[in-house]
Amino acid sequence: AQTVTQSQPEMSVQEAETVTLSCTYDTSESDYYLFWYKQPPSRQMILVIRQEAYKQQNATENRFSVNFQKAAKSFSLKISDSQLGDAAMYFCACLISNFGNEKLTFGTGTRLTIIP
Amino acid sequence: ETGVTQTPRHLVMGMTNKKSLKCEQHLGHNAMYWYKQSAKKPLELMFVYSLEERVENNSVPSRFSPECPNSSHLFLHLHTLQPEDSALYLCASSSSYRAPFDSSYEQYFGPGTRLTVT
């Protein structure tokens, strides 16, 4: 079974500053994918960034980047130049895909507050 | 009415009861999902439906029985539940069942049904 742990229930950051959200995971699979999702008050679940485990290069999407440490099973999200619209719940997730059976496991989430 | 709606918003049921949760989406999507969100536990993807066919069942106990009569409606039938099944049950929809795994798609969530099993 795989697990995803987010040890920070809440985080806050000053607008325009940088914040890092932590995530660790555990899986016995060698082939998996990692995601960060954003859930704003509107309750949409937006996929922010995706990382394939076989890729060594850290994924980047505009102001969002990850620090993927495969050996340490760590997958943190860095948000640069924080904006008020970044305020949301952030979920880390791990997907394993095994012969067409896919298992997606989420962390408990981190609530990010942006201070104007 | 727009977006994703869920009824009832709150439900209290005994372990021997049978009840159903209803979800309706007005977004023209063809994929719908049931999630379970327990207090202090990770969000769990329970069922995925695409074009009214179930494409994913993440090892959910048989006391939860989904039904998707058409692409706009999704039900979760509940029977002989346990107290540990108390949680917020979220419905979501998307234009593709791949939404949880593919950044090309977004999921839209309903407000949820707060279920308490006594």
- The pLDDT tens digits of the residues spanning A58-91 come to 989 899 999 999 999 999 999 999 999 999 999 9
Mention every residue, 6+ apart, whose C-beta is less than 8 A from residue B117: B13, B14, B15, B81, B82, B83, B84, B85, B86
Which runs of E-coded beta strand occur in A1-116? Answer: 3-5, 10-14, 19-21, 24-26, 32-39, 44-52, 60-61, 64-69, 74-79, 88-98, 101-106, 110-115
CB A67 within 8 A of CB A80: no
Q: How many residues would you count in chain A?
A: 116
Q: How confident is the model at residue A4 (pLDDT cuts 50, 70, 90)?
A: very high
DSSP state of A57: S
A53-60 mean pLDDT: 86
Q: Is A70 left (phi over 0), alpha (psi -120 to 50) or beta?
A: alpha
Per-residue confidence at B54, pLDDT binned at 50, 70, 90?
A: confident
The predicted structure's pLDDT at residue A31: 79
**Facing residue for B58 by CB, picked from A4, A45, A103:** A103
The Cα–Cα gap between A61 and A48 comes to 8
Rg (CA), chain A: 14
Q: Give the Cα separation of B49 and B69 in Å (integer).
A: 11
Most A CBs within 10 Å, among B90, B101, B108, to test the A interface: B101
Name the residue in chain B with its Cα closest to that of A42. Answer: B109
CB atoms within 10 A of CB A41: 8
Chain A residues with CB-CB distance to B93 below 8 A = none
Helix (H) or strand (E) holding B65: strand B64-70
- Cα nearest neighbour of B60 on chain A: A103
Q: Which of B41, B56, B107 sits opposite A44 (nearest CB)?
A: B107
Distance, in Å, from the CA atom of A82 to the CA atom of B12, rounded to the nearest integer, reads: 41
Mean pLDDT, chain A, as a whole number? 88
Residue A43's pLDDT is 64
Contact B107 A4 (CB under 8 A): no
Q: Is A16 helix (H, G, I), strand (E, B) or coil?
A: coil
Q: CB–CB of A96/A2 below 8 Å?
A: yes
Give the integer Cα–Cα distance in Å for A26 and B9: 35
Q: Which among B58, B102, B107 is the nearest to A45, CB-wise?
A: B107
> For residue B23, is pLDDT > 90?
yes
Residue A53 to residues A57, A94, B41: CA-CA distances in angstroms? 10, 10, 24
